[in-house]
Amino acid sequence: METVPIWVQVLALFILILLSAFFSMTETALMAANRHRLRHLAKQGNRAAITILWLLDRTERLLSLVLIANTAINALATALVTALAIAAFGNHQRVITAATACVAALLIIFAEIVPKVIGATYPERISLFTGFILKPLMRVAKPLIWFVNLFVSAILRLLRIKTGARAAEQRISPEELRSIVLEGGSFIPQKHKSILLNLFDLEKISVEDVMTPRSQVEALNLAAPVDDILHQLATCYHNKLPVFEGEINHIVGILHVRKTVSLFRREEEISHDDIRELLSAPYYVPVETDVFTQLQYFQENHERLGVVVDEYGEVQGLVTLEDIIEEMIGEFTTSSPGSSGEGFGWDKDGACLLEGSTTLRDINKRLGLQLPLDGPKTINGLLLEYLQDIPEASVAVKMDGCVIEIVQVQNQAIRMVKLIALAQAPGAASAAPD
């Protein structure tokens, strides 16, 4: 070392620290790189991304290369600083200790912390740059890596660690994917984000949450006079109608309203049997079926409308393909006159008038409330369960930051309620029924 100029030794030390910083930064960047983004770039033909994915598919060898290089460089840097210190101040224990402390500080700050922070901040950018350097180095150092990995593999076998399980662990769960969408920020338009989040919820809700309840189902009764049936068909709003005989639990078929046009053109008298001939078989759906599964069933059975029944076979409502699509992307079809499907929201006074059959899920979505969804599905059912009685009008309860006032009760059911935001009407709120 005495024959080597001091400036050459200092320059060598500087280069060693830079190399150590390079490998530290590269290791962090490669481990932090977004593989989904890299795969997207690779599909577009980006050679750097293809190289990085090739390296990441060989993680054990890649880490071995980085750690071997980093360890060797740090050892050389420590030896060089120690030699410089001894040459300048003599071979004393204090000199060696001080030199070791100095080189440790240099390596920790300039070769570890700073490079790794930079690597974690710009993982893809740094990875794409360093991939072309690491791939040739891995091939050159292949014998050394193989020799080191012999001991690594033996130790892992003793510890019963299976490295092949890594791929399965890297699969993204639905909840993790949901978190990725939520954290997408400005990269995903709000409407697209809403659709994606709704897709994740399809397995968590049942057809009961999206169906048209039995009380709102428009159906034909074959026991009624023919003139009444024809008048209903002439003024019908829907494309398909369930047809029952006597009472709605006895559904005999589904009538496509368009098929009845030929009946009106006939000169002879129309009978119940003429209508019965136009019916198709009803498609029944268990009430507990989750919406995503039902969407698949609709596709497999080439159906668009299902009759929702409970465990006793009683009709609970109707669910259509459009109901499920609207659950994913929002309402897009025209609601029938007088239906609760029309939009609603808080008015300028912080109040909202709703039908008792309005579902709690719609109320929570549109009004930003957190009414419980694990029990009744409608505001009528929620109030009846809470009060445990059929109330009279003008009864009010306070629930989830708002006052729910019962406006109209008819036929043992709450027909109309008024929601008042608690901040808007503190005097009208009550913690229990009035």
Domain identity same for 136 and 33:
yes
**Any idea which residue has 């500080």 for tokens?**
105
Domain identity same for 276 and 320:
yes
Identity of residue 172: I
Domain identity same for 57 and 110:
yes
Domain identity same for 141 and 163:
yes
Asked whether 137 and 26 are in contact (CB, 8 A), the reply is no
* pLDDT, tens digit (0-9, with 9 covering 90-100), for 377-388: 888 888 888 888
Return the sign of the alpha-carbon dihedral for residues 85, 87, 90, 91: positive
Compute the distance between CA of residue 378 and CA of residue 210 in angstroms, rounded to an integer: 11
Compute the distance between CA of residue 9 and CA of residue 32 in angstroms, rounded to an integer: 35
Q: In the Cβ-directed half-sphere of 253, how many Cα atoms lie within 13 Å?
A: 12
Domain identity same for 236 and 305:
yes
User: What does the pLDDT read at residue 25?
Assistant: 92
Among 201, 216, 251, where does a domain finish?
201
> Which stretch of 89-103, 106-120, 301-315 has the lowest confidence by average pLDDT?
89-103
Q: Is residue 427 part of a domain?
A: no
Q: Is the pLDDT of residue 338 over 50?
A: no
* pLDDT, tens digit (0-9, with 9 covering 90-100), for 291-305: 989 999 999 989 899
Which tops the pLDDT comparison, 333 or 29?
29
Asked whether 417 and 356 are in contact (CB, 8 A), the reply is yes
Identity of residue 313: G
* Helix H or strand E encompassing 179: helix 174-182
Compute the distance between CA of residue 429 and CA of residue 397 in angstroms, rounded to an integer: 7
Q: Is the pLDDT of residue 347 over 80?
A: yes
pLDDT band at 163 (very low <50, low <70, confident <90, very high): low
Asked whether 285 and 298 are in contact (CB, 8 A), the reply is no
Domain identity same for 223 and 151:
no
Domain identity same for 103 and 79:
yes
Q: Is residue 430 part of a domain?
A: no
Q: Is residue 336 part of a domain?
A: no
* Helix H or strand E encompassing 255: strand 247-256
Number of domains into which the chain is organized: 4
Q: Is residue 319 part of a domain?
A: yes
* Helix H or strand E encompassing 44: none
- Which domain, by its residues, includes 375? 351-421
Strand partners, 285: 308
Q: Is the pLDDT of residue 64 over 90?
A: no
Domain identity same for 146 and 193:
no
Q: Is residue 340 part of a domain?
A: no
CATH of the domain at 375: 3.30.465.10
Q: Is residue 343 part of a domain?
A: no
Domain identity same for 28 and 153:
yes
Say what the pTM is.
0.59
